[in-house]
Amino acid sequence: MSNAHIPESEWFSYRDGLLSCEQVPLDSIADEVNTPAFVYSGRAIDDAYRSIDEALQFAPHLIAYAVKANGNLSLLARLASQGCGADIVSLGEMQRALKAGFSPDHIVFSGVGKRREEIAAAAEAGIRAIHVENVQELDVVESVAKEVGRPLPIGLRVNPDVDAKTHPYIATGLRESKFGLAIPVAEELVPRIVQSPHLELEAVACHIGSQLTSPAPLRESIEILGSFAQLCLERGAKLRAIDIGGGWPMHYGQEVDPYPPAKVFGEAIREGLETAGMLRPDIEIITEPGRAIVGDAGVLLTRVLYTKTQGDRRFVIVDAAMTELIRPALYGAYHAIMPIDEPASDAVLAPVDVVGPVCESGDFVAKDRPLPPVKPGDLLAIRGAGAYGREMQSMYNARPLPPEVLVDGMRSRVIRERSGPEALWQGEILA
Ligand code: LLP
């Protein structure tokens, strides 16, 4: 289709008039598991992982997938089996990553507020590095190390004060943000860490934000991070890695020009490291992509319940809601919407608000979105829902958690069932 509002991709395209994930028509998945449901293309995930891997071929590297983007066990296991690592931000994510088969040596622990018991569990599991971003946190890590009786590998996450030029809610590398250590503070910590028998400074890290649509801020942050790494080496640290964070972008469908491909970001990373003198065979690059690996691999399949016109607005009421995909409500995020029945090439598009059943005016998928005519019973695919969809889900309005389906070629498998009523009151005690 040439319609810019209904973008097809290699993994989601019309076949015989029906939108399909790889070779499986999405209406057959709706018949099987009902709606709303998340559907993922396995090959899209493999392909995205491979393109980042290829972009970093110039140096030893570890792709530590950001589990927060989508922690479904089958997707994690799939990535782990390809040699991927994991970036976690909680004990729960560590438990998921270990259950899915990631090697502890491939797991890094980020996060601005790790509890002592989470740090102790990470030490116990023997993960690759705990990324410290607070002086008080360093004290806790050191005291846990004393308790376990062996030095703990850590990374220092710095805040390079670089403008990622992204949505303010997903920018993390500015001085005013809560993330990372200001470089002068981090510098002061280095001698203490190097001298401590309980700590091993194994990495420097930063993450300036998500959806970096141009590689320039990434390169800038890497130069700053690289100079900090030099300083650590000069002060006696035995650095093994430089962790440049996540932020590799994905397309949501409204972009006028496509973002540069992974290889252009890889080139910017190489240049940044080279400028900082940190392109070395003994230093591994770690990167923590989340959405770029799973985002465009997933759709949220939903059915139109009703339509109505109110005032001058036309509403399409669907059975998916902010409970499954909160991004539009939270960030005003754009997600492309594609009818499962291929619209006629001359279909007239009219702007509608696509809204969910939840009792909030903020419960919308799209506003003023030009769509071909739809009627109750029609199926729609909300694109770009593979990342930060299920992970940010809630059971508000006592809605069950939707199923997840993984497609590989002609095969589809349910990788999470829709939750039953017992999940609605699990853990509650009727007093
Ligand atoms: N590394 C760290 C330390 C992070 O904080 C994040 C994301 C990532 C990696 C992965 O970022 P990605 O490559 O996926 O952009 N809920 C928001 C995104 C919040 C991201 C938080 N940190 C959204 O739906 O856009």
pLDDT digits (tens, 9 = 90+) for 279-316: 999 999 999 999 999 999 999 999 999 999 999 999 99
Q: What is the mean pLDDT of residues 360-374?
A: 97
Burial (Cβ within 10 Å: 0-12, 13-18, ≥19) of residue 361: exposed
C-alpha count within 13 angstroms, C-beta hemisphere, residue 336: 24
Q: Rounded distance, CA 110 to CA 64, Å?
A: 11
CATH topology (fold) of 110-289: TIM Barrel (3.20.20)
**370 to 209, 265, 351, 361: CA distances (angstroms):** 30, 33, 4, 20
pLDDT digits (tens, 9 = 90+) for 163-187: 877 777 777 777 778 899 999 999 9
Q: Compute, in angstroms, the gap from residue 42 CA to the centroid of ligand 1.
A: 21
Q: Is 84 a catalytic residue?
A: no
CB 257 within 8 A of CB 301: no
Q: Rounded distance, CA 102 to CA 104, Å?
A: 6
Residue closest via CA to ligand 1's atom 23 equals: 388
Percent with pLDDT over 90 in the chain: 93
Domain 12-41+296-424 has CATH 2.40.37.10: yes
- Which residue matches tokens 């972008």? 249
**pLDDT at residue 324 above 60?**
yes
Residue closest via CA to ligand 1's atom 7 equals: 210
Q: Quote the pTM value.
A: 0.97
pLDDT digits (tens, 9 = 90+) for 63-104: 999 999 999 999 999 999 999 999 999 999 999 999 999 999
Residue closest via CA to ligand 1's atom 9 equals: 246
Q: For the chain, give every residue range classified as CATH 3.20.20.10.
A: 110-289
What ligand 1 atom has the least distance to the C-alpha of 327? 24
Structure tokens at 229: 């790494």
**pLDDT at residue 131 above 60?**
yes
Q: Compute, in angstroms, the gap from residue 364 CA to the centroid of ligand 1.
A: 22
Percent with pLDDT over 70 in the chain: 98
Whether the CB of 170 sits within 6 Å of ligand 1: yes
Q: Compute, in angstroms, the gap from residue 290 CA to the centroid of ligand 1.
A: 6
CB 397 within 8 A of CB 406: no
- Predicted pLDDT of residue 4: 45
- Predicted pLDDT of residue 6: 58
pLDDT digits (tens, 9 = 90+) for 3-49: 445 578 999 999 999 999 999 999 999 999 999 999 999 999 999 99
Whether the CB of 69 sits within 6 Å of ligand 1: yes
**pLDDT at residue 342 above 70?**
yes
Mean pLDDT, the chain, as a whole number?
96
Strand pairing report for 18-21 and 24-25: antiparallel
Phi-psi region of 382 (alpha: psi -120 to 50; beta: other; left: phi over 0): beta
Structure tokens at 208: 């300036």
- As a whole number of Å, the CA-based R_g of the chain is 23
Whether the CB of 369 sits within 6 Å of ligand 1: no
Q: Rounded distance, CA 231 to CA 327, Å?
A: 40
SS3 143: helix
- Which residue matches tokens 């996450």? 157
Whether the CB of 289 sits within 6 Å of ligand 1: yes
Of 180, 293, 298, nearest to 243 by C-alpha is 180
Q: For the chain, give every residue range classified as CATH 2.40.37.10.
A: 12-41+296-424
Phi-psi region of 109 (alpha: psi -120 to 50; beta: other; left: phi over 0): beta
Structure tokens at 319: 């059975």
Q: Compute, in angstroms, the gap from residue 19 CA to the centroid of ligand 1.
A: 29
- Predicted pLDDT of residue 1: 39
Q: Compute, in angstroms, the gap from residue 227 CA to the centroid of ligand 1.
A: 24
- Predicted pLDDT of residue 329: 97
Structure tokens at 292: 């770029």
- Predicted pLDDT of residue 2: 40
Residue closest via CA to ligand 1's atom 24 equals: 388
